[in-house]
Structure 1
């Protein structure tokens, strides 16, 4: 039986940064109309948002409380919604999240990393 390395907070923070980067790469120069009509990109972005939500769930409150401008509960809850509501996903909300929420989240995560490394 192999031992799995216990994940550290920094691993989860890096997961978030990687997923943000992936989303930007997936979307590229797409318009919202392009996005909602591209099933592969939709699925890739949704998966990356799920990873962000799952990773955020593993960041301790003692750290997230220092970043009150980030909607941590919403990030985690969108992961749950995306993972469990396959037929009720509002692509306008997904698109809006990619356009408005990733930049401030990235700034916060990079700051967190700089304070704990």
Structure 2
């Protein structure tokens, strides 16, 4: 059975991959590149799944981690796979992932 640090590492790896895929792209570049959209969506799904697998103890001890948001995003993406809203995905990348990355890096120290 994997421990919480393993799941946190998976989340961090997924965030790093998303950053690598998007590089210095802007929203216009992103929304017009189906391959990158698919890759980013897949990594967001991984973030949500890893967040869902964190122990209840970890979630109680770290209420500031937005694990519920990550799980909800994963569920949204899985169930809306034919109609991914690129604006929501882009906003998640710009507004939520940097803070999540910082939080996880601090936890893994």
TM-score, length-normalised on structure 2? 0.90
Q: Given the alignment of the two structures, is residue 13 of structure 1 paired with residue 8 of structure 2, yes or no?
A: yes
Matched, 1:106 2:101: yes
Extract unaligned runs of 5+ from structure 1: 1-5
Question: Is 22-31 or 62-71 further displaced after alignment?
Answer: 62-71
The alignment's C-alpha RMSD in Å is 1.4
2:32 corresponds to: 37
TM-score (norm: length of structure 1):
0.85
Structure 1 runs (4+) greater than 3 angstroms displaced:
65-70
Given the alignment of the two structures, is residue 47 of structure 1 paired with residue 27 of structure 2, yes or no? no
Q: Answer with 1 or 2: which has the greater Rg.
A: 1
Q: Look up the match of 1:3.
A: none
Q: Unpaired runs of 5+ in structure 2?
A: none
Deviation at residue 88 of structure 1 after TM alignment: 2.6
Residue 9 of structure 1 and its aligned partner are, at CA, apart by: 1.5
Residue 59 of structure 1 is aligned with which of 51, 54, 74?
54
Matched, 1:85 2:80: yes
CA distance in 2, matches of 1:66, 1:27: 32
After superposition, the Cα gap between the structure-2 partners of 1:17 and 1:59, relative to the gap in structure 1 and judged at 3 Å, is same
Give the paired residue count.
Answer: 109
